Structure 1
Amino acid sequence: MLLVYTWLKIFIPITILSLAVLVPVNWTNSTLDNSRNIQFSDIDDLSISNIPKGSQRFWAHLGMSYVFTFWTCYILLKEYGIVASMRLHFLASAKRRPDQFTVLVRNVPPDPDETVSELIEHFFLVHHPDHYLMHQVVYDAKKLGKLVQERKQMKNWLDYYELKYERNSSERPTCKQTGFWGLHGKKVDAIDFYTSKIDKLSKDEARERENITTNPKYIMPAAFVSFRTRWGAAVCAQTQQTRNPTSWLTEWAPEPRDVYWENLAIPFVSLTIRQLIMTVALFFLTFFYIVPISLVQYLANIEGLEKAAPFLKPLTEIHVVKSFIQGFLPGIVLKIFLIFLPTILMIMSKFEGFISLSALQRRSASKYYIFILVNVFLASIITGTAFEQLDSFIHQSANEIPKTIGVSIPMKATFFITYIMVDGWAGIAGEILRLIPLITYHLKNSFLVKTEKDREEAMDPGSIQFGASEPRIQLYFLLGLVYAAITPILLPFILIFFGLAYVVFRHQIINVYNQEYESAAAFWPDVHRRIITALVISQMLLIGLLSTNEAADSTPVLIPLPVLTIWFHRFCKNRYKSAFSKYPLQEAHIKDTLERAREPNLDLRAYLLNAYVHPVFKDEENNNRVSSDEEKELENALVPTKRQSCKNTPVSSKHGCSPSPLLPS
């Protein structure tokens, strides 16, 4: 919510200034240049398109561009300092957590005389003798994970049939022995069948566990190394361990609930190759996606639709249908094309090998922002304009084409206004109603829910997806900065969206969504960088637009703006970014000293013993049981909200996670 609140503080003054200064400047008698047969809309009367070429009024737009840039940078500088201070305060006041004492070590070099575990222990006993405590090697447990998951499914079916038998003990329940979902095969006693399946899977699990722990090929050259003090962990995590910079690589371990265990088994040497493959894949996905989007955008206007389907011409001439096609259809089509994109980008991020859920979200957000920047913003301006002005392009000289594109940039304001209403306003309304989760729950409840565990999973609201929501909001910020000095009438639509987003998402985060992990504002540097990118793009587009309007005297005055903006970004990065990547040794030493004074008999080894054990090595009883000490630690780790996840909230919690009544037969 800090992000939306920051954008509100930026956009409220910008909107007021734009409407107060630029709208009167733009609103003159219609002087739109139709000499090149370019199609204009009524909204262009309130944009920079309505100013005559070479007019002195362009100086107003130039001056307001400086005002908008300086105000945005001023707010960003203040917010960067506030967020950095809040992060350091949170880390200093946070209760004891396993990740404060633990470092992830990767790319451990092989040794013919020692196992990976022995080599890690000897290395840290030699180089960190006063602070090393223990370690937990990383195993490739994918096969074991499948067995554990299959046994859980069998146990769920067994619970269902036992419950069914308890309600009607006169007849033993039966099921079909083979076939997909038990659709065919010989009928057998269901309880006996699933009991035997569970026994067999339990034996397979035991054999696989023994095989993993004894077979060297399942032991990865990585480990979670824990230290006696936070100071020792901070020194290890933030320093180079050997003269070879590619071995014994150390970094802060994610908190246990933030670990993405599937990627820990990926060899470190393959990570670079994986990232290269995904970079190439993202390039082709981004730029080849322009083709269908541009084609559909072309067909989603009156001229394109009538050319592709002449028989629809009588229908498209109806005023209501024509208004819908011109106003809302392009935005709806674009929204449909982007529905499955976040899932695709998350799969790509997982393939790259990031080891924490927060890192996966940040990487997915970065990919998504690049995608919508190219395909939603740039493609809608460039390719959409090219299709709409195709006839004008064909019948003019080549040196006139850049001018046509420059003039037509404000013309896409109508499309972006409808896109904000379709994607932004309607998206906020959908966030309140949560129709898709509601429909999904009822479908699961009708066809898939068989036990109380199924009901709990079906009711789980999940967590807010930063990788999909943040880049979309960043797009509206980009649109606001671009059109603030070009078409100010677009800003109220964005301001309304930010206001609604703040109110709605604040409610959803407090009362609906689960807290999946705690990143301590680690996302902010990425957010800051994308805002700076939006500023530079808006400045470059304004320079290009003024250069096509015979404002040669004023255009060079804008050239310092991108340079100053990039310098400002480098200043903020050098000043504050270390607070988001490093933990001050002074803070670590203070916390260690206070903890030793308050808890002199603390058994840190017992506290960290099972913190970073792979979930498949923990039996079901340990997974479901939460001790009183763990309850306190968990409550301290979570941000206080009115609702907490049933997965993250202890059984005896007061936050409303008590089990619901058993399902009827």
Structure 2
Amino acid sequence: MDSYFFVRFLRFVIRMLLPIWLISWAVLMPVTSVNTSSPGHSGLDIFVFGNVSSSRQSRYAAHLILAWLFTFWILWNLRREMQYFVTMRQRWLVDAKNATLPQASTVLITGVPQKYLTESALDDLFSVLPGGVRKVWLNRDLKEMPDLYKRQLKACNKLESAETKLLGTATKMHNKRTKAGAKAAKKSSKEAPSDDRHLTDASTVDSERNDPYSLVPPAKRPSHRLPPMSFLPFSLPFMGKKVDSIEWARDEIIQTSTALEHSRSILADDISSSSTLPVASTNHPDSLNPIDESQTYQPLNAAFILFNRQIAAHLAAQTLTHHAPYRMTKRWAATVALIIFWALPVAFVGAVSNVHSLCNTFGWLAWICKLPGVVVGIISGILPPVLLAVLMMFLPIVLRMLARFEGMPTKTAVELSLMSRYFLFQVLHSFLIVTVAAGIIAALPGLINSPGSIPTLLAQNLPQASNFFLTYIVLQGLSGTASGFLQISPLVLYYVKLFILGSTPRSVHNIKFGTRSVSWGTLFPSTTLLVVITITYSIISPIINGLTCAAFFLFYHLWKYLFLWQLDQPRSSDTGGLFFPKALQHVFVGLYIQQICLAALFFLAQDQNMKQSAIPEGALMVVLIVLTAGYHLTLNDSYGPLISAVPLTLSDKAKSPSVPQPDDTKRTQYTENASVDDADQAADVCEEFTNPAATEPQRIVWIPRDTLGLADMEVTTGNASGVAMSVERARMDQKGKVDVEGPPPDEELNVRA
């Protein structure tokens, strides 16, 4: 759904901008360029708002009429898209493929009072909802179990790497001995009969197959050093005990498996004993249940609740929406601080984009304008967008950390939060600050020499900042689309990873068959920023309309191709299109900025007598701002409650998540004819929201089958010692190169989202 609605948003922008492009070019470009001019305007600047001379102020009526017309056109499209989104999302929510998933009928609750910190208490509390509760997963403090599970995974990775390295070494040494034997046999061909030579070569190969360890001496076996101190997460060169990697990894897996099995049995006893605890005598929510101090793994204040009916989950979610454990002021304090800090380098980028004005204003910078024209063009046209892109590259990392710090429990919630924060940064720094900085730099000489002409100078020079964004949009539309279709970087990285990291079957499978995903929290804001810039300048500098429409036409075909053939979205990260209504809200931001800027420019406009000449136009723009805000509130009030909730009128169409019956059609995943037993599916549902450390078995160690048969002996030895190993669908050729024919054995039947 997220992929579909992103592509639909691109199509929505094209449909919205196409008539705006044609009308604005036909009306506004002649109005601002024919028989009118202002000092300092040349090239593309003759098409901007500020090029209307003081004797032609009546032409601003065209800008006003089109501003009203374009606003109503955009608002109509926004309502149409919001209505379509709500319809499609509700269909998706009640669709059998989604409604039958456990995730569709499960609610995560946090801040659970101590009184309800048992599975039975939460079951009783929510049993009043339609259909009742099917299962409760109470989050517990698992203490050492997650660390044990991580140690086990690390040991499995080490064993896969060491075993594959051992097989490769054995294969290469076997080939070396075979070649040496062939050369020796060739030299002694005159002394021994051919039959004897054949028997000698065959007996050598057979002995190596029967005793493969003879191929690799102990000094050549994979080894590594342990950290010199136990608390260090890594080892140090020439320090620490040197151990055989295969033997160490096997022992580590066995030890962690035994420890996890013991801990899981204690956890099962704790869960069963908690259901027998007496309930507090009072019904007050803050009353406390007696705490069972004998429990090793105490419950925490969060739980997943799976309901029998989807409507019950939605009712529970809406009931709990008012019980937020954090304050919003604290959540946004760090974000506001970052916004203020980031203003300095972004303002510098905006100033660099207007390097000619800097040269005229500051004499010590005049040498820059004396450089060759190509160099000056690169400094003012290419360097600012590149610097801006580099600055914005580091923001998502920091903003994701802030979202996790404030307590976002899911990845989708983090991405939704990132979208709002990142868009705020983009609008303030990549747009507004750059616009103001570039406009003021252009007006500085006049402001210094004639302070009384500030309104006129600002009205004439602020629109000139659009040149930077024209370059920015062309750069994004042409170079971004071209690189997206060519995919040169992913192609090069594919072969580099395969050469450097393709040492085990699992790594080869991940490189060859793993698909890339999309970070919606950064992709959507970067796209909606272009829409905001275009709407803002659609009247002030109409040439931007055609460029953006063409760019989004290219974006539409690019992303449609990528989502069909290259990109994938895991079900766990699919929000059902919740990024789309946020993107529509961003369009309103563009409308507000456009209307405020136009109102300010109208109020600043002066005729040849230095008197305000467009006050009525400015007043009508203020009226338009009020109408837009009223429409915005009405739209949100009408469709807002329908975005995330299932109405009662559709609840009967939503099927409950049921355990597959014996006659149900079995699902196929990854490989042909790979089906899942009904009991396994039921077990997956029962453990859907349990910490993997509490339920997951040891990951199967996957090594390739070699030509010497060494891998089969290693698998037999490992399985006999209690380490699950397999050589299915993985092979190593005679040159020691690893290749795979399918997924790892422990992922073949994985049906989780």
**TM-score band, normalised by shorter chain:** 0.7 to 0.9
1:235 to 312, 315, 318: 315
2:119 to 106, 110, 117: 117
Contact 1:174–1:189 under 8 Å retained in 2: yes
User: In structure 2, what is the equivalent of residue 330 of structure 1?
Assistant: 384
Q: Deviations over 1:520-559 (max 9, x none)?
A: 2222321221111211111111111111113123221222
Corresponding letter in the other structure for 1:105: I
- Cα pair distance change 1:187/1:392, threshold 3 Å: same
TM-score by length of 1: 0.81
Measure how far apart 1:490 and its partner are. 1.4
User: In structure 2, what is the equivalent of residue 11 of structure 1?
Assistant: 17
Does 164-173 or 605-614 show the bigger shift? 605-614
Contact 2:17–2:549 under 8 Å retained in 1: yes
User: In structure 2, what is the equivalent of residue 618 of structure 1?
Assistant: 695
User: In structure 2, what is the equivalent of residue 195 of structure 1?
Assistant: 250
| In structure 2, distance between residues paired with 1:541 and 1:622 | 60
| In structure 2, distance between residues paired with 1:145 and 1:387 | 57
Contact 2:440–2:462 under 8 Å retained in 1: no
SS in structure 2 at match of 1:103: strand
User: In structure 1, what is the equivalent of residue 335 of structure 2?
Assistant: 282
Identify unmatched segments of 5+ residues in structure 2. Answer: 1-6, 171-212, 228-233, 271-294, 606-612, 665-677, 703-728, 739-753
- Cα pair distance change 1:449/1:240, threshold 3 Å: closer
Corresponding letter in the other structure for 1:504: L
Contact 2:476–2:551 under 8 Å retained in 1: no
Corresponding letter in the other structure for 1:422: L
Measure how far apart 1:361 and its partner are. 1.4
| In structure 1, distance between residues paired with 2:316 and 2:480 | 45
- Cα pair distance change 1:661/1:502, threshold 3 Å: farther
Q: Deviations over 1:112-154 (max 9, x none)?
A: xx753343234335x3595222211123458643442332222
User: In structure 1, what is the equivalent of residue 627 of structure 2?
Assistant: 564
Are positions 1:467 and 2:526 aligned together? no
Does 176-185 or 573-582 show the bigger shift? 176-185
Contact 2:152–2:253 under 8 Å retained in 1: yes
User: In structure 1, what is the equivalent of residue 646 of structure 2?
Assistant: 583
Q: Deviations over 1:143-190 (max 9, x none)?
A: 643442332222112112212323414115131323555632454322
Are positions 1:59 and 2:61 aligned together? yes
| In structure 1, distance between residues paired with 2:433 and 2:247 | 61
Contact 2:86–2:643 under 8 Å retained in 1: yes
| In structure 2, distance between residues paired with 1:65 and 1:208 | 68
SS in structure 2 at match of 1:239: helix
Measure how far apart 1:62 and its partner are. 0.4
| In structure 1, distance between residues paired with 2:308 and 2:450 | 75
- Cα pair distance change 1:347/1:610, threshold 3 Å: same
- Cα pair distance change 1:216/1:160, threshold 3 Å: closer
Contact 1:140–1:212 under 8 Å retained in 2: no
Contact 2:359–2:365 under 8 Å retained in 1: no
User: In structure 2, what is the equivalent of residue 148 of structure 1?
Assistant: 149
- Cα pair distance change 1:326/1:227, threshold 3 Å: closer
Listed as ranges, the matches of 1:386-425 within 5 Å are 386-397=440-451, 400-425=453-478
User: In structure 2, what is the equivalent of residue 70 of structure 1?
Assistant: 72
SS in structure 1 at match of 2:223: strand
SS in structure 1 at match of 2:134: strand
Are positions 1:103 and 2:180 aligned together? no
Corresponding letter in the other structure for 1:614: N
User: In structure 2, what is the equivalent of residue 664 of structure 1?
Assistant: 737
Corresponding letter in the other structure for 1:87: R
Identify unmatched segments of 5+ residues in structure 1. Answer: 247-267, 626-657
Corresponding letter in the other structure for 1:527: A
1:362 to 413, 416, 421: 416
- Cα pair distance change 1:321/1:567, threshold 3 Å: same
Corresponding letter in the other structure for 1:90: W
TM-score by length of 2: 0.72
User: In structure 2, what is the equivalent of residue 89 of structure 1?
Assistant: 91
Are positions 1:504 and 2:567 aligned together? no
Are positions 1:292 and 2:365 aligned together? no
Measure how far apart 1:289 and its partner are. 0.6
Contact 1:15–1:488 under 8 Å retained in 2: yes
Contact 1:66–1:561 under 8 Å retained in 2: yes
Contact 1:134–1:605 under 8 Å retained in 2: no
Measure how far apart 1:329 and its partner are. 1.6
1:177 to 200, 220, 225: 225
| In structure 2, distance between residues paired with 1:131 and 1:458 | 44
Contact 1:234–1:585 under 8 Å retained in 2: no
Q: Deviations over 1:487-534 (max 9, x none)?
A: 111112111110111000011111111112332222232122111121
Are positions 1:520 and 2:583 aligned together? no
Are positions 1:553 and 2:616 aligned together? yes
Corresponding letter in the other structure for 1:225: I
| In structure 2, distance between residues paired with 1:449 and 1:309 | 58
User: In structure 1, what is the equivalent of residue 544 of structure 2?
Assistant: 490
Does 458-467 or 1-10 show the bigger shift? 458-467
| In structure 2, distance between residues paired with 1:56 and 1:129 | 66
- Cα pair distance change 1:584/1:129, threshold 3 Å: closer
Measure how far apart 1:221 and its partner are. 1.6
Q: Deviations over 1:96-127 (max 9, x none)?
A: 1112332223322113xx753343234335x3
| In structure 2, distance between residues paired with 1:146 and 1:41 | 67
- Cα pair distance change 1:592/1:423, threshold 3 Å: closer
| In structure 1, distance between residues paired with 2:623 and 2:651 | 43
Does 438-447 or 2-11 show the bigger shift? 438-447
- Cα pair distance change 1:218/1:212, threshold 3 Å: farther
Does 50-59 or 472-481 show the bigger shift? 50-59
SS in structure 1 at match of 2:137: strand
Contact 2:517–2:567 under 8 Å retained in 1: yes
> Which structure: larger Rg?
2
User: In structure 1, what is the equivalent of residue 482 of structure 2?
Assistant: 429
Contact 1:84–1:580 under 8 Å retained in 2: yes
- Cα pair distance change 1:211/1:14, threshold 3 Å: farther
Corresponding letter in the other structure for 2:27: V
| In structure 2, distance between residues paired with 1:115 and 1:484 | 57
- Cα pair distance change 1:151/1:68, threshold 3 Å: same
Corresponding letter in the other structure for 1:51: V
SS in structure 1 at match of 2:546: helix
Measure how far apart 1:328 and its partner are. 1.5
| In structure 1, distance between residues paired with 2:701 and 2:450 | 72
Contact 1:230–1:589 under 8 Å retained in 2: no
Corresponding letter in the other structure for 2:645: K
Does 440-449 or 606-615 show the bigger shift? 440-449
| In structure 2, distance between residues paired with 1:94 and 1:498 | 34
Measure how far apart 1:413 and its partner are. 1.4
Contact 1:335–1:423 under 8 Å retained in 2: no
Sequence identity percentage: 23
Measure how far apart 1:206 and its partner are. 4.4
Contact 2:438–2:462 under 8 Å retained in 1: no
Corresponding letter in the other structure for 2:463: P
| In structure 1, distance between residues paired with 2:252 and 2:699 | 22
| In structure 2, distance between residues paired with 1:415 and 1:407 | 16
| In structure 2, distance between residues paired with 1:544 and 1:280 | 30
In the alignment of these two chains, the number of paired residues is 597
Contact 1:424–1:497 under 8 Å retained in 2: yes
| In structure 2, distance between residues paired with 1:594 and 1:620 | 25
Contact 1:44–1:50 under 8 Å retained in 2: yes
SS in structure 2 at match of 1:386: helix
Corresponding letter in the other structure for 1:79: E
**C-alpha RMSD over aligned residues:** 3.4
Are positions 1:31 and 2:37 aligned together? yes
SS in structure 2 at match of 1:221: strand
Corresponding letter in the other structure for 1:48: F
- Cα pair distance change 1:555/1:123, threshold 3 Å: closer
